[in-house]
Amino acid sequence: MTSNNKHIEDYLNYYFAPEFDANFAVMISGDWGTGKTWFIKQYYKDFEELRNGKEKKFALFTLA
């Protein structure tokens, strides 16, 4: 990942960590074409390892 998005990656790692029990969603906002979908696709590649067998939901939604 790029260092520009390191703070987002760090937060998602915390959010998806097995010991964290989230009762809320995370929204990544930005103008069209800024790389939100690209970032999430790159992050998702490592998502299965991060889960460590704990059930976590991962969904993408677009708000218009």
37 within 8 A of 17, measured Cβ to Cβ: no
Tell me the C-alpha distance between 1 and 44, whole Å.
Answer: 12
27 token code pair: 């929204």
Exposure on the CB side of residue 44, measured as CA atoms within 13 A: 10
| pLDDT tens-digit map of 23-50 | 888 888 888 899 888 888 888 877 766 5
Who's near 22: CB < 8 A, 6+ residues apart?
15
Segment 49-56 shows an average pLDDT of: 60
Whether the model clears a pTM of 0.75, i.e. scores above it, the answer is no
**High-pLDDT (> 90) share of the chain, %:** 5
Closest by CA position to 47, among listed 55, 61, 64, 63: 55
